[in-house]
Amino acid sequence: MIKTEIYEQALFETIKRGATEISPDVKDAFMKAIEREANPDAKNGLEATLKSMEMSKVRENPLCVDTGWPIFYFKVGNQCELEGGFVELENAARRAVAKATELGYLRATMKHPLTGYDPGNNIGMNIPDFTYQFVDGDAIEMSYAAKGGGSECFGGTRHRIVAFADGIKGIEKFVIESFVASARAGAVCPPSVLGIGIGGTANVAANLAKEAACLRTVGSKHPDPMFAKIEEDLYEAINSLGIGILGAGGSTSVLAVNVEYAYTHIAGIACATSTNCMVARRASSRIDGNGTVTKMTSPNWFGDR
């Protein structure tokens, strides 16, 4: 049985790492973007952002002032036993978020949707958000994603039901037009990690898009060539638009395009987008059944991608 103090400490460390350390795959994507950037001002912007992100690790401060919606993903072994069970896991996650907020690793960003009341600790109705996936084994893997306000609020997350009559062309047109509108003047903090969900009900597509944006390793490809081609075509197409870092012009507008899919109804194809901002914050940890905690460099949410 995994002790409460072990998973609570792992949750806190994962939140802190997600808020303050750039993921290795995002760093690689930045370095490639800097290398190929043709616009000198955009190149300076990418370099300044990378430099600041590297300083955050040393200074132990947030990569960006907006530390986003606190979102947890748990990949749980079917034989995993937690002291206090899963109710206590969620309580521990709430305590860890409150502690990270008190120490300034997170900003107290979550507020009541109608009154504007700020609890000061990022804890409230249905927040943090929890998603589970079940697998074999006795381990638990946890990922913390901080979904920024800019990337979420300005049209980076949206959906459309595309008719089978319109197919891939309809999906690609919807994605490109949505992205151009949402990246105007840098609203969604491009270069983005653009997640796309295809199929399922509208909410399934939206969840897949969010997970594709927040949990896929940047630089990975979908194993099905049909979806890998959509990823590649849209990556090339969007990076040809000249939107650039914070929308002020440049040759890198997306760091990655990640597609995930579900089977859909004969009536239509739900299609959703979710942009993650350039800092693409997340961190993951694994706790084995014997209580050993390991830092993971990638969420492993979609297997090896």
Partner 1 sequence: MAEYHLKGPLTDEDVTKLKIGDTVYISGECFTCRSRLQKYIFDEKNVLPFGTKERNILIHNGPIVIKENGKWKLMSFMPTSSIRFEKWGAKSVDEWNLKMIVGKTTMGAETAKMMKEKKCVHVSPRSVSPNLWIDSIEVQDVYLYDELGRIEAAWFFKVNELGPFIVDIDCEGNNYFDRLDQDIADKKDEALKKLGIDENFEFTKLY
- Crossing angle between the packed helical segments 40-59 and 24-36, to the nearest 10 degrees: 160
The residue (of 161 and 293) whose beta carbon lies closer to partner 1 is 161
- Residue 122 CB, nearest distance to partner 1 (Å)? 11
- Residue 186 CB, nearest distance to partner 1 (Å)? 6
CA distance 261 to 30: 27
CA distance 216 to 200: 19
**Which residues between 196 and 225 bind partner 1 (CB under 8 A)?**
none
Q: Tell me the backbone φ, ψ of residue 202, rounded to 5 degrees.
A: -55, -40
Helix ranges restricted to H, the chain = 4-20, 24-36, 40-59, 85-102, 149-153, 167-183, 202-214, 225-239
Q: Which helix (H) or strand (E) holds 60?
A: none
**Which residues between 236 and 265 bind partner 1 (CB under 8 A)?**
237-238, 240-243, 245-249
> Which of 189, 254, 257, 283 touches partner 1 by CB under 8 A?
189
The residue (of 137 and 186) whose beta carbon lies closer to partner 1 is 186
**Which residues between 9 and 28 bind partner 1 (CB under 8 A)?**
none
- Applying CB under 8 A, what is the total number of residues that bind partner 1? 66
**Which residues between 92 and 111 bind partner 1 (CB under 8 A)?**
103-104, 107-109
Is 120 a binder of partner 1 (CB under 8 A)? yes
CA distance 153 to 173: 21
Instruction: State the CB neighbour count (10 A cutoff) for residue 38.
Output: 11
> Which of 154, 261, 301, 302 touches partner 1 by CB under 8 A?
154
Per-residue contact flags (x/-) with partner 1 for residues 273 to 292, judged by CB under 8 A: ----xxx-------------
- Crossing angle between the packed helical segments 85-102 and 4-20, to the nearest 10 degrees: 40
Is 133 a binder of partner 1 (CB under 8 A)? no
- Residue 34 CB, nearest distance to partner 1 (Å)? 12
- Residue 299 CB, nearest distance to partner 1 (Å)? 22
> Which of 3, 36, 112, 169 touches partner 1 by CB under 8 A?
169
User: With contact defined as beta carbons under 8 Å apart, do 204 and 227 qualify?
Assistant: no
The residue (of 101 and 285) whose beta carbon lies closer to partner 1 is 101
Is 268 a binder of partner 1 (CB under 8 A)? yes
> Which of 52, 201, 220, 300 touches partner 1 by CB under 8 A?
52
CA distance 36 to 34: 6
DSSP state letters, 75-142: EEETT--BTTHHHHHHHHHHHHHHHHHHTTSS------TTT----SSS-BTTBSEEEEEEESSS-EEE
- Residue 84 CB, nearest distance to partner 1 (Å)? 31
* 230: CB partners within 8 A, 6+ apart: 168, 171, 172, 196, 257, 259
Question: Site residues (CB under 8 A) for partner 1?
Answer: 41-42, 44-46, 48-49, 51-52, 55-56, 59, 61-67, 103-104, 107-109, 116, 118, 120, 149-150, 153-154, 160-163, 165-166, 169-170, 172-174, 176-177, 180, 184-187, 189, 233, 237-238, 240-243, 245-249, 268, 277-279
